[in-house]
Structure 1
Amino acid sequence: MSGSKSSAPDAHADIPSGAAGDRPLSFTIHSQPQPAELASQADLQRTRAGRLRMLGVVAVCAAPVVASYFSFYVLKLQGRAYSDLITPTVELPATLTLQDLDGKAVSPESLKGQWLLTVVQPSRCDAQCDRLMFAQRQLREMQGKERDKFDKLWLIPDQEPVSAELRALIAQGTPVTALRVPAEQLQAWLKPAAGHQLNEHLFLIDPVGRWMMRSPADLDPGKFKKDLDRLVKANAGWDRPGR
């Protein structure tokens, strides 16, 4: 109506209190990774990758050894063995005290890498010593083209002098590795068959350093060779001549 007062509605009347129009805009800011955190994550990833690669290498290296032992021990080869198979095998003691004939210390680790045809005999070699050391030389030569995978080892459990003649003999051809070792340490590692002595046997140590076979006291080289042939065949995929 004319003369009546009209007023414009309040611009905010219809906007309820607390609606979006009344609230200021806000932003959520997410923190960015710090350089130290990024470096730590990268290190962790590299460590995991390195461990996986290391496990892969170990698996590749161990597979042939595991396969050879599986072939020799599990696939009924033990039923045809002439020698005594040592189960479980016995590790070469890392603390074994070894000296050469000149008194120089020798590390047990240096013995690893080849099959060791091993005899335990005194410094003053008697008739039995002569027989076993002859069989040791014979067995190595009987391996033919595989003979370089075998070393001849003479362990001496005393400190008596070795004669010049015997030194010359063991140096002929492929030398015998002659090492002195305390008798008590030797007896804690290698064991004879029941009722026999260590010096009656020929022991076989594998390239990893495990004692794994023992000849009968009355050694027949021809029969023992058949066991060696099986071992060489089972290990053909990884065994290499020379240390």
Structure 2
Amino acid sequence: MNGKKTLVVIGLVCTLPLIASYALYYLWRPDSTVNYGQLLSPQPLPKEALTSIAGKSFDFDSLKGRWTLVLADSGACDARCEQSLYFIRQVRKAQGEHQDRIERVWLLNDATLPQAKLVEAVEGMHIVRAEGSATLAALIREPAHARAIYLIDPLGQLMMRYPDEPDPKKMIKDFQRLMKYSRLG
């Protein structure tokens, strides 16, 4: 009889963690997440060639292997747009030695060209004409978030959206975690 009790105790000790893990997975949902940006269902961007304002061909496949921050806005770029461009630049610079793992893209959603002064201020950013493109449509699936900043992972998947008026400190924290824990990019 003593051997049966021991066997039952060993069986319970082995199966309880498994049962508890299934119960937690299916029944418990955490109230909050660590990340600031809104996680999206990963989706690849359409494969299409776009044109930079310098007249060169551009496609997102050329940026594979790097994290990419994308803003889709007008070339006229009002104060809010300029602020978003500034935040994108600062988030990248704040990563220090990891800033080379991050690219920046400004998709122009109209035919207006940005002012030369602004182009100079965002040096190193890919400024691409995207009016009417499938890429622009894939990014802005929800018109309510037309001015959001998007994140594309190193595999070329759209995966996160930051608010239309983001908090750069929280974005920097997100990226610090990404750079620390991700071996991609």
1:67-103 CA-partner distances (Å, limit 9, x unpaired): xxxxxxxxx8x7222110012x010211x34101033
Q: Which moved more, 1:223-232 or 1:132-141?
A: 223-232
Give, as a single letter, the amino acid of the residue that structure 2 aligns with 1:144: G
TM-score, length-scaled by structure 1: 0.58
Alignment match of 1:220 (pick from 145, 155, 167): 167
1:194-226 CA-partner distances (Å, limit 9, x unpaired): x72322x11111111111111122200111222
Equivalence for 1:49: none
Number of residue pairs the alignment of both structures matches: 155
SS state of the match for residue 80, structure 1? coil
TM-score, length-scaled by structure 2: 0.75
Q: Is the 8 A contact 1:97 1:182 kept in 2?
A: no
- Whether 2:177 is the aligned partner of 1:230: answer yes
1:146-202 CA-partner distances (Å, limit 9, x unpaired): 11111111111122222222222222xxx1111111335244311366x72322x11
Q: Is the 8 A contact 1:120 1:156 kept in 2?
A: yes
Q: Is the 8 A contact 1:157 1:186 kept in 2?
A: no
Query: Greater share of strand residues, 1 or 2?
Result: 2
Give, as a single letter, the amino acid of the residue that structure 2 aligns with 1:90: Q
- Whether 2:17 is the aligned partner of 1:91: answer no
Equivalence for 2:33: 79
Percent pairwise identity: 31
- The higher-RCO structure (CA 8 Å, 6+ apart) is 2
- Whether 2:138 is the aligned partner of 1:185: answer no
Aligned runs of 1:145-224 on 2, under 5 Å?
Answer: 145-171=97-123, 175-191=124-140, 196-199=144-147, 201-224=148-171
| RMSD, matched Cα | 2.1
Q: Is the 8 A contact 1:196 1:217 kept in 2?
A: no
Give, as a single letter, the amino acid of the residue that structure 2 aligns with 1:232: M
Give, as a single letter, the amino acid of the residue that structure 1 aligns with 2:105: L
Q: Could you say which structure has the larger radius of gyration?
A: 1
Equivalence for 2:73: 121
1:30-58 CA-partner distances (Å, limit 9, x unpaired): xxxxxxxxxxxxxxxxxxxxxxxxxxxxx
Consecutive unaligned residues in structure 1, runs of 5 or more? 1-75
Taking the aligned partners of 1:192 and 1:127, their CA distance within structure 2 comes to 24
Give, as a single letter, the amino acid of the residue that structure 2 aligns with 1:84: Q
Equivalence for 1:56: none
Taking the aligned partners of 1:102 and 1:142, their CA distance within structure 2 comes to 28
Aligned runs of 1:32-71 on 2, under 5 Å?
Answer: none
Taking the aligned partners of 1:99 and 1:159, their CA distance within structure 2 comes to 12
Check 1:183–1:155 CA distance in 2 against 1; reply closer, same or farther (3 A cut): same
Taking the aligned partners of 2:129 and 2:141, their CA distance within structure 1 comes to 19
